[in-house]
Amino acid sequence: MPELPEAETIVRGLRGRVTGHAITDVHIIHADVLAPDLDPDRLVRTLRGRRVADVRRRAKNVVLLLEPPAVLMVNLGMTGRLVVGDAERAGELGHVAVRFDLDDGQELLYDDIRRFGRIELHSPESWREREAGLGVEPLSDAFTPERLHRMTQASRSPIRNWLLDQRRVAGIGNIYANEALFLAGIHPARPANSIGREEAARLRDGLRSVLRDAIDARGTTLRDFRDMSGEAGGYEPRLRVYGREGEPCPADCGGTVQRIVIGNRSAFVCPDCQPRGGG
DNA sequence: AACGCGCCCTGTCCGC
DNA sequence: TGCGGACAGGGCGCGT
């Protein structure tokens, strides 16, 4: 569930709480959230005694930079949460998969109802490789209209599916893909390589404005997402089309938002503002 | 080799 | 009230 804005919200909350603290111990309750090649004992042995030097975000991933150098990456999947608390706080969470004990007596808890999340442990070198496989950060200067247009021309996939591929643009999920396509007036089923230069520029701007606004609102909560302190995100009321089937088009064009299915996942569209044949 | 699909797992909601 | 089916912010591995 968490997309870029939700991961960013988690990172901002975590940074001030865990930076500078050492991990004293690790308790693995559900080993299936560990990457398949990550042995639980190795994770515990490697993390004991390392200090958190910084907390960053890459795509939808929370990245803990450790000292001595190592990288702990958490992909939150659909229902992952990271919370700093004590034993009492742990009682509020029903699905803690991994607990990291910190040297100040607090605990960093990874809770994940569906356990689709994944925890990876990297050396600085393997992290560099892993990161290189992720696409361009949509809020970075490198994400230019020209670059987006050029990338889309190499694929015939529906543009909504195309946007979900983390190897191209990193951090976009189903909510913000749909929101940005609405802002850009592009139908989500359009082949990526049918997107024109002007449309690519609108899509790029739409993605950036939606992501920035969602970060400012501390993310979108549909049901499970919570920030570090347990607060829901504030962006849900501002969603234009996602989850709004049957409601009037937010652009007041007189049309009605429809739910369609593309690649086994919901897409939301105003058929009048986002013509199928468009371009 | 790009792309579509099924699947991983738990919870909630809706219709019968 | 109970039960089955649909659906959920993701991503991997498979077959074509």
Question: Two tokens at A204?
Answer: 């790029």
**pLDDT attached to residue A232:** 86
Planar angle of CA A33, A38, A43, nearest 5 degrees: 90
Residues A17/A84, Cβ–Cβ less than 8 Å: yes
Instruction: Name, in order, each residue with C-beta under 8 angstroms of A65's C-beta and a sequence gap of 6 or more.
Output: A52, A53, A54, A55, A56, A71
Which residues of A have a catalytic role annotated?
A: 2-3, 60, 265
Q: Give the closest nucleotide to A226 (alpha carbon vs C1').
A: C9
Direct distance between the N- and C-terminal alpha carbons of chain A, in angstroms, rounded to an integer: 31
The 10s digit of each residue's pLDDT in A239-261 is 999 999 999 999 999 999 999 99
The 10s digit of each residue's pLDDT in A56-67 is 999 999 999 999
**pLDDT attached to residue A88:** 67
CA distances from A178 to A39, A55, A266 (A): 38, 29, 9
CA A253 vs. chain centroid, Å, equals: 31
- What letter does residue A34 receive in the DSSP assignment? B
Chain C bases having any atom below 7 Å from a protein CB: 7-13
Classified as helix, coil or strand, A42 is: helix
User: Would the Cβ of A113 be found within 7 angstroms of any atom in strand B?
Assistant: yes
Sign for the CA dihedral angle at A23, A29, A34, A39 comes to positive
Per-residue pLDDT tens listing for chain A (279 residues): 699 999 999 999 999 999 999 999 999 999 999 999 999 999 999 999 999 999 999 999 999 999 999 999 999 999 999 999 876 677 778 999 999 999 999 999 999 999 999 999 999 999 999 999 999 999 999 999 999 999 999 999 999 999 999 999 999 999 999 999 999 999 999 999 999 999 999 999 999 999 999 999 999 988 878 888 888 889 999 999 999 999 999 999 999 999 999 999 999 999 999 999 865
User: Would the Cβ of A157 be found within 7 angstroms of any atom in strand B?
Assistant: yes
Give the integer Cα–Cα distance in Å for A249 and A20.
48
User: Would the Cβ of A115 be found within 7 angstroms of any atom in strand B?
Assistant: yes
Protein residues closer than 7 Å by CB to strand C? A 1-3, 6, 36, 59-61, 75, 77-78, 114, 116, 118, 164, 166, 173-175, 219-225, 261, 265-266
User: Would the Cβ of A32 be found within 7 angstroms of any atom in strand B?
Assistant: yes
**Farthest-apart Cα atoms in chain A, separation:** 61
**pLDDT attached to residue A203:** 98
Residue nearest to nucleotide B8 (CA to C1'): A116
User: Would the Cβ of A256 be found within 7 angstroms of any atom in strand B?
Assistant: no
User: Would the Cβ of A260 be found within 7 angstroms of any atom in strand B?
Assistant: no
**pLDDT attached to residue A278:** 64
Question: A114 φ, ψ to 5°?
Answer: -90, -10
Chain B bases having any atom below 7 Å from a protein CB: 2-12
